[in-house]
C-alpha cells in the first residue's frame, strides 16, 4: 500500500455556446507528479449535450474529448504536446481557453488510491445521480 500523495484535478466540460455559459461535465483529469500519474476519464452524456444544443457537432466534441486521454498517455501519437513532461501536459490541458471543451479551475487533494479517486470523482461530478458506469 502506498502512502497518501497529493494530486490535482480539473473537470472537463463541454460548453456548447460559450456566450451562454451553460455546460455539462464530461470528464475529469487527475495529475500526481509524486506518482507519475496523469489520466483523464471521459463520459460524455450526449443526450444532456443535445438538450443544451440540439445542433451540437458530436463528432467534433468526441474528438476533442478523446484528445485529453491521448495527451495524458503521452508519446508521439499525442503530437508535440504528448512529448512534454507529465506536469507540463497537465498544465497545457487545464490552461484556460474559449472553446467548446474547457476545464474547471484546478482543485487539489490527497489520497492513497489515484485510480479509485479518479473513479469517485467521475461518479460524483460527471455521472447523473443513479447512473452507472
The band of 131, judged by pLDDT with boundaries at 50, 70 and 90, is: low
- What pLDDT, on a 0 to 100 scale, did the predictor assign at position 19? 87
What is the DSSP secondary-structure string of 42-74?
E---HHHHHHH-TT--HHHHHHHHHHHHHHHH-
pLDDT value of residue 2: 72
- Check pLDDT > 60 for residue 49: yes
Q: Report, as an integer, the average pLDDT of 52-65.
A: 95
Checking if the pLDDT of 53 tops 80, the result is yes
Measure the CA–CA gap between 118 and 23, rounded to whole angstroms: 21
Q: CB within 8 A of 27, min separation 6: which ones?
A: 11, 12, 40, 41, 42, 43, 44, 65, 68, 122, 126
Per-residue pLDDT tens digits for 3-43 = 899 999 999 999 998 888 899 999 999 999 999 999 999 99
What's the chain's average pLDDT? Answer: 94
pLDDT of residue 18: 87
Most distant CA atoms of the chain, gap in Å: 48
Amino acid at each position: 500500500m502506498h502512502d497518501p500523495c497529493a494530486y490535482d484535478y480539473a473537470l472537463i466540460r463541454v460548453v456548447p455556446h460559450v456566450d451562454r455559459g451553460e455546460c455539462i461535465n464530461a470528464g475529469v483529469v487527475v495529475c500526481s507528479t509524486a506518482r507519475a500519474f496523469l489520466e483523464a476519464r471521459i463520459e460524455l452524456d450526449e443526450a444532456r449535450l443535445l438538450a443544451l444544443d440540439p445542433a451540437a457537432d458530436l463528432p467534433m466534441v468526441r474528438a476533442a474529448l478523446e484528445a485529453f486521454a491521448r495527451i495524458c498517455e503521452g508519446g508521439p501519437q499525442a503530437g508535440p504536446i504528448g512529448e512534454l513532461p507529465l506536469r507540463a501536459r497537465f498544465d497545457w490541458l487545464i490552461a484556460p481557453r474559449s472553446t467548446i471543451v474547457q476545464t474547471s479551475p484546478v482543485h487539489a487533494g490527497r489520497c492513497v488510491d489515484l485510480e479509485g479517486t479518479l473513479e469517485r470523482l467521475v461518479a460524483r461530478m460527471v455521472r447523473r445521480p443513479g447512473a452507472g458506469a
